[in-house]
Structure formats: structure tokens, C-alpha cells
Amino acid sequence: MKKLFFSLSIFVLSLKVFAGAGPGIQHLRVVWHEDPAHEAYVMWTTDKYKTKSYLYYDTVPRKGVLSKYRYKNNAKTKPILYTLDTRHKSKLKKLKPNTMYYFMAVTNGMKSKEYHFKTAPDGGVNFKILFGGDSRSDRPKRREINRSLSKMLESDDSILALCHGGDYIANGLSWKQWKYWLEDHLLTVTSKGRMLPVIPTRGNHELASPLFNDVFARPGGLFKKNYYRIKIGDFSIITLNSNVSAAGRQKRWLKKTLKKARKDSKWIVANYHRPLWPAVKKPGRGIKHWVPLFEKYQIDMAFESDGHVLKRTVPIYQNKQDPVKGIVYVGEGGLGVKQRNPKKDRWFLRSPGYATSKHHVMTLEVTPSRMIYTVDLPDGTVFDKMELLPRKR
Amino acid sequence: MLSTEGTNDKKWGNFLLLALFLQISAWSYEAYFNSTVINSVFFLNLNLSDSFATAFDMVSSFVLLGSFALFMVTKRAFLLLIPTLYALALPICQIILHSSFAYEYALLSNGARIGLPLVLYLFYKGEQVWSIEKRFIIRFAIAMTFVGHGIEALIEHPKFIDFLIESSSIFLGYELTEGSAIQILALIGAADIVFAISGLIKPRAWIYTWMATWGLVTAVCRLVYFQWDGVFPMLLRSAHWALPALVVWTILEKRKAAQPWKVWSSVKG
């Protein structure tokens, strides 16, 4: 009985601590779209509509004294579809690159704590981006991994953001599940209040749910269906949407973007949900329409999710292993979802490739001379490491 | 000895059995070499182990083929309930998973695939005649599939958009734009629904001839798009052309025009 009472107390206490950013203001988060060196979205949720919402921010900590913040931004409010909650979105523009920004959200007089995040550099600085996908279905594991992300962020100042490969939750139409995900995402905040910005990707469990756009401020803009390019100095992440047509507008956009990226980026990586070289399921339609473009424009590597395993393929070029022109496809999603047994006998998973069943987060360190890819397990051990040199394009 | 009508009924029963065999082969292949939505529900929703879920897929693959083989030998109708239940379980799991486009309409879209083993069960359980009730179940199953796919087309299923773009590129040497593909899909979707409902209200040979042709074209389209990987997805859709073909035959037979040289005049009505 005592044990039960003790566990219940811990549970209630942890709910209080991690429930939100402050009384009334919940789910505070930073979202990155195309230009994270100069722009960012800060978003949060309250249960009241028709409110006055502001974001106070500065490049130095102000410890919650609103009058001291140099900048104040209006936040747009909008009721979240099918719910009684309201979403607040503040778009920060003209930010300084590679700078820590401290902010506080204020809605109808209710204040959040002060948090901070670092903008992306404009070039010339080494940085790290975390990659991973599939945080649905196993909430305790997701929370455990989020705590490990917080530790990573705490110990490594060069980590900038988490590029999430999709399948945040099991049912993209369930606001209740989104709320849990957003509450759990706050576990990635460091003890000093540093936030881990999210670079969002639509997964098949988000499907066509409008809540994805409510949570992540419609990445890709109004007309593109959640595919977009993030540019950090000479590093580009091309995020694709495997839930819409792969052959139509998205393919044309991809071709145009890769053509442009070839000229202005030293490093190009692709990121999307449905694997094109899967370790469990069948390949997505992108294998027909995207892979030839990846190969033509010689992207450096591709991040995939959905399969619930950890994999790295051999370098693939024109359906064969090619150490020179081949592209390595990694990932498959392990930010909390239960892991599957991969089909290791597929040709593209043979050594130096592999496929295994482990929760994981991937880190890509971008430096001027090389990219270093590592896979970290929740216990902090490094499972895999690979170096990539600039390609001739 | 069976009458001519009885012999024809049996012949068409065999025709549907062939279609069911193709459908079961596709299920078995998918279950054995890939993974099914049932596997995902076991693993993620029911929290069973991946090994169990995979073993279930593999066992179900053999059970489906085995039950069909046993049926062919023994002609025990109850064996056809196994593929019927399997056909029903797939869309239900799709709905539970919320992970595929238009999963809400999965039961509708799978109507013909569920209907095929079900009508065969009723056929072999009864007096082996395509009675009015059985014909209605067939038409209802076809209508479900066509309405389901019609809705999917109207809500712009991305796979259909890609099929249209790819097909135009292969056959016309010109790649349709996504906008044009969506407009064509709207027409296809509306036509699917209109044909399905009108066929249900009053069966006409030309409507079901169109449905059988369209069912075959959309099945073969998998082969065009995925090449060899499309063989089993194509076979999986055997009910989409086999069931309408049976309806055409029953209509023609009713008009005493089953002979091939009179088919066109009866289609013309």
C-alpha cells in the first residue's frame, strides 16, 4: 500500500512538473521551417480563445521581467480544430544567426517561464542536428528518450534542433494524443530552460490531419503540402512528404530545389517518412520518382522512418552497391515506438550496412570538411559512426 | 446430371474459385514476404511480440492456401469462411491503425474482396445456383468497392494520382500534371459512384461490362507502375473484375444470349 501511495505521489508530482510551461500556458515549443538562422516559430496552447497573446524575447536572459525584454511580438491565436483549446503562434523574424534567444509567452496576463533556444548559424560554424522518427504508441519509452535528448542538449552546446521524421502519435486526428506528445516534448528542455526546436515531417499516422499544421505552423507554407528545404549555411535538409503524390508537384519541386541546392550547398540530405530502401516493409512510391533525382544530384545521405528499426544501407546507386556514387539511407524510427525485427537478408542491408532492433537517435555533425553521422542509444552509448566527405556534383 | 443452367452455374463457380485462388495467393505472398496490417495491430495495438505477429502472418499465409486446397479436395463450404474472415479482418485492422490514406473507407473499398469468398461460401453451402439473393450480394459487394474507390478518387488518393501520371508517361509519352491528374480522378471517382449505385438499382450488362473492364484495368495498372513487384497487388484485385464479369454473364444468360456471337447485341440491349 505504501509503495502504491509512493508511486502515485511520484506520478502526480511528475505530471505537475512536466504538464506544461506554466499555469494556463502549455506545450511551449520552437518550430523551425526554411530559414532557422533568421526565423523561428514559438508556439503554445491555452484553453481560452479571444485572448491577447504576446511573446517577449531578447538575446540576453531577463529572468521574467517583461519590461526588460527588448522585443515583443504579437502571437496569432486560433482555435484548434475539434477541440476547446487555442493555439498561439508567434513568428520571430530577422533573428541574428547563431544567437541564443530568451523568451517568455504571455497570454491574458498569464506568463510562462523564461526559456531559450539558439538560432542556426549562417555558415562557418560547426553544428549538430538530431534526427529520428516514430515516437508514437509507447509513451514511457518516448519520455525516456526525450529525457536522454535533454541530457544530450545539456552536454553539447552545438546541438541545434531535432529533425523529427514523422509518426509523432498513433492517430493524427486525436488532439488528446498530440497533447501528450507536446507535454512529453517538454522533457527535452534542459534544466537551464534551453529548448530543442523541432523540424517537422509528416508521417503516415499524421496522414492528412489538419492538427499537424496546427501543431507545427504549416511547414512548407500554404500551397506546398508540407515539403520544404531548410538551409543552414551550406547545409540543406530537403524534407519531403511521403503522404502526398510523389510524382506530381512534389517531384517538380524536388528537382528544382536539388538543382538550386547543388549550387548553394556543400551538404544535402533528404528527410522523409516512408522508407525507399526499407528494412521491414515495402518501399514507398518515392523509390520511382525521388531516388533517380537523389542520384542525379548526388545528395549526401537520406533519413527515413516508419519501419521501427535501426538501419543503415550500403551506398546505393542505380540499384547496386556503389562506394563512390552511392547514397546511404539511414534511420527507420526509434524515438519511442516499439521496435520490430528487421528483414536483414535484403541486399542493401549487408555489411557495411546493417539492420537491428534498437531505439535510437541519430546525430549529424556538420563541419566544413566533413559530416559525421553517429547513432546514440538511449543509455548514451554510441552504436554507429560514419564520416562523409564532400561530393563532386 | 446437371441441367445446362446448372453446368453453367458450376462453370462460373469455378471461374470465381480461380479469382479467389489468385486473391489468396496475393494475400499469402504479402503475409509471408512482407507484413500485413494484422501484424501491425498485433504488435502495436495489442502489444504482442514482433515474433508472434510475424509468426501469425506466416501461419496465416499457409492456412489460407491450405484451406483453399482442402476446399478444392473436399468441397466443404465452411473452409471458405477462413478467407472471408481474413478479408474482413484486413480492412478492420486498417481502420484500427489509422495509418493509410482513406482508411475510413477501407471496409467499402474491400467490399469485393470480402464478397468473393463470401458468395462462394453461400454458393457451395446451398444448391450451387446463382440465385437472386446471391446475385444481389455480388452486386452489393461490387457497389461497395466502386463507391469506396470512387470516394478515394474524389478525395485525391496520392497513389491514384501517381498511377495516372506514370501511366500517361508510359502510354502517351507525356507526363500529366498533378492538377490534370486530380481533375481526371474527379471524373473517374464520380463515374465509379454513379455506375455502382445505378448497377445496384438496376443491373445492366453494359454497366457491369464497364465495371469488369475498369476493374481489370486498375488491377493491371499495378503491374505497369510497380513492374514485377506489382504482380501480387494485381492478383489481389481479382475480385474487382471477376465479380462484375459474373454479373454480366447472369444478365446475358437471363436474356438467353450466352453464346459469344450474340453477346454484343445483348450488350447493346
Q: What pLDDT is attached to residue B265?
A: 59
- The answer to whether residue B173 scores a pLDDT higher than 50 is yes
Q: Which residue of B has its CA nearest to A137?
A: B44
Q: What pLDDT is attached to residue A121?
A: 97
- The answer to whether residue A19 scores a pLDDT higher than 60 is no
B120, B17 in Cβ contact below 8 A?
yes
pTM of the model as a whole: 0.90
| Cell numbers linked to A261 | 541546392
A138, A338 in Cβ contact below 8 A?
yes
Domain limits, chain B? 4-268
Q: State mean pLDDT over A106-114.
A: 92
| Cell numbers linked to B91 | 480492412
A37, A232 in Cβ contact below 8 A?
yes
Q: What pLDDT is attached to residue A7?
A: 54
CATH fold, domain A2-118, is Immunoglobulin-like (2.60.40)
A259, A354 in Cβ contact below 8 A?
no
Residue B181: its chain A contacts at CB < 8 A?
A: 245, 248
Reported confidence tier of residue B8, pLDDT bands at 50, 70, 90:
confident
- Kindly report, residue by residue over A65-86, the tens digit of the pLDDT: 999 999 999 999 999 887 889 9
Domain limits, chain A? 2-118, 127-388
Helices B111-125 and B4-33 pack at an angle, to 10 degrees, of 130
Arithmetic mean of pLDDT over chain A? 92
- The answer to whether residue A16 scores a pLDDT higher than 50 is no
Q: State mean pLDDT over A195-200.
A: 98
User: Which of B40, B44, B100 to probe the A interface (max A CBs under 10 A)?
Assistant: B44
Reported confidence tier of residue A214, pLDDT bands at 50, 70, 90:
very high
- The answer to whether residue A12 scores a pLDDT higher than 70 is no
Reported confidence tier of residue B260, pLDDT bands at 50, 70, 90:
low
Reported confidence tier of residue B259, pLDDT bands at 50, 70, 90:
low
Distance CA A366, CA A370 (A): 7
How many C-beta atoms surround the C-beta of residue A321 within 10 A?
15
The beta-carbon neighbor of B98 closest among A170, A248, A282 is A170
Q: Does domain A127-388 have CATH number 3.60.21.10?
A: yes
Q: What pLDDT is attached to residue A22?
A: 39
Indicate yes or no: CB of A246 within 8 angstroms of CB of B100.
no
Distance CA A148, CA A98 (A): 24
When mean pLDDT is compared across B129-133, B190-194, B198-202, the lowest value belongs to B129-133
Q: Which residue of B has its CA nearest to A337?
A: B44
- Kindly report, residue by residue over A226-273, the tens digit of the pLDDT: 999 999 999 999 999 999 999 999 999 999 999 999 999 999 999 999
